[in-house]
Structure 1
Amino acid sequence: MDIRLLLISHASTAAMRAGRFPADDPLDARGLAEAAAARARLSIPDGAAVFVSPAVCARDTASALGLGAAASFDEGLADMDYGLWHGRRLADLAVEAPHDLAAWTHDPDAAAHGGESFSQLVKRVGQWLDALNGALRDTLSEGVIPGNTHNVVAVTHAPVIRAAIVHALGAPPAVFPRIEIAPLSMVELRRARRGWTWWPASQ
């Protein structure tokens, strides 16, 4: 089955703007307004299968984009596990644990916080991408027609989208600091016989 996957990063949160690691924060008024404004800008196809990270900010974003009613929550799209750094300010960690923070920002295998390394995230997201075929068969009520292209929308987190790009390109996880994903940006991946490819997204 061919798949056109649109990965959308959730709207900005107060924690992001304060330089804090997330702690399952909901969208504030500013984030909700940004998501509502993005609804007209993002070219989201009608009738797409919709998957959403279980995080509150992703669910709020999906609702503001008009996708909430059709969404299936998927643990495979959950944000990176930041371990002991959940809710902590980067500025504080830069003083308390500068070497650990520096390693985490440059080494894909570093996870001094006791959570998930970026390499582990790439593996997890890659497994989600490769299992998407089966997930679609379970989700689409009218069944899957071989040879057709099926549209999928996934509302998730910037690190997850970075990991999806790395997996699709077969790139080494060490390239992750060179990929920037802004809030409410959309990345398009397509899966056909040759595997996953990265396409310019229509926004």
Structure 2
Amino acid sequence: MSVTATSLRLVAHAHTAALRRAVFGGGAEPLDEGGSRAASALAPTGPDGRGPLGRIDVCLSTPAAAGLQTAYALGLRPTPEPALADCDYGRWTGRSLEEVADWEPDAVRSWLTEPDAAPHGGESIGALLRRVGGWLDGQADRGGRIGVVTHPVVIRAVLVRALGLPPPVFWQLDVAPLAVVRLTGRGSRWQLQLTAPAAATD
């Protein structure tokens, strides 16, 4: 019996002013002018109508403004998905890592080294991994091509789950704004796809 394949095309939302300042929760703001322009430049053009995600059947997005605006700029019609929301950084929201490290260094140290630590009063990295991992597990047998527009941190969590990586590897992954990650799943197994530029719109 064949297993229906699910193709996920994940794209990190474009820049916001807060994201450029590298503050916690930078995706809650609308896109800045540069981010909006960069996302719009990737919108489908020409008769084939294909953009960086290729042909998709449905688009899911973080409920945050940055994700929804990026999806619309790409010519998509997103459905907000709470499981794709940014990590809740509690009282650190709006502050940079450097600022918080000066303010409460012990708290930052525990947050960076203990997956279930939440010294900011929000969501721990471990909780983020479980939330996003649960969502990913639910997509495995869905089938079709699914576009996903969300936060870089959520895409990092998806990769940890999809590739069966240990939680500390989360900190070694870097996802830039408008980066595209492709995963193909059959049952509970996911495969990371790295495509050449010429094949990016297949």
The interval holding the TM-score normalised by the smaller chain is: 0.7 to 0.9
Instruction: Give the aligned partner of residue 54 of structure 2.
Output: 45
Match of 2:29 among 7, 18, 25: 25
- Distance between the aligned counterparts of 1:133 and 1:172, measured in 2? 20
Q: CA deviation at 1:105?
A: 3.2
- Distance between the aligned counterparts of 2:89 and 2:189, measured in 1? 30
Paired-residue identity, %: 39
Q: TM-score, normalised by structure 2?
A: 0.85
After TM superposition, the structure 1 stretch with the greater mean CA deviation from structure 2, 170-179 or 87-96, is 87-96
Matches within 5 A, 1:140-151: 150-151=144-145
- AA paired with 2:17? A
Matches within 5 A, 1:3-22: 3-22=6-25
Q: Say if 1:108 and 1:176, in contact at 8 Å, map to a contact too.
A: no
RMSD: 2.0
Q: CA deviation at 1:92?
A: 2.1
Q: CA deviation at 1:61?
A: 0.6
Q: CA deviation at 1:162?
A: 0.6
Instruction: Give the aligned partner of residue 174 of structure 2.
Output: 180
SS at match of 1:131: helix
Q: Say if 2:13 and 2:149, in contact at 8 Å, map to a contact too.
A: yes
User: Are the structure 2 counterparts of residues 3 and 114 from structure 1 closer, same or farther at C-alpha, using a change threshold of 3 Å?
Assistant: same
- AA paired with 2:182? E
Instruction: Give the aligned partner of residue 154 of structure 1.
Output: 148
Q: TM-score, normalised by structure 1?
A: 0.84
Instruction: Give the aligned partner of residue 144 of structure 1.
Output: none
Contiguous gaps of at least 5 residues in structure 1: 137-148
> Structure 1 residue runs of 4+, over 6 Å off?
none
- AA paired with 1:154? V
Instruction: Give the aligned partner of residue 59 of structure 1.
Output: 68
User: Are the structure 2 counterparts of residues 94 and 47 from structure 1 closer, same or farther at C-alpha, using a change threshold of 3 Å?
Assistant: closer
Q: CA deviation at 1:90?
A: 2.7
Instruction: Give the aligned partner of residue 143 of structure 1.
Output: none
Contiguous gaps of at least 5 residues in structure 2: 45-49
SS at match of 1:38: coil
Q: CA deviation at 1:43?
A: 2.8
Q: Deviations over 1:84-133 (max 9, x none)?
A: 11112333212111222233234323221111111111111111111125
SS at match of 1:61: helix
- Distance between the aligned counterparts of 1:123 and 1:37, measured in 2? 34
- AA paired with 1:31? G
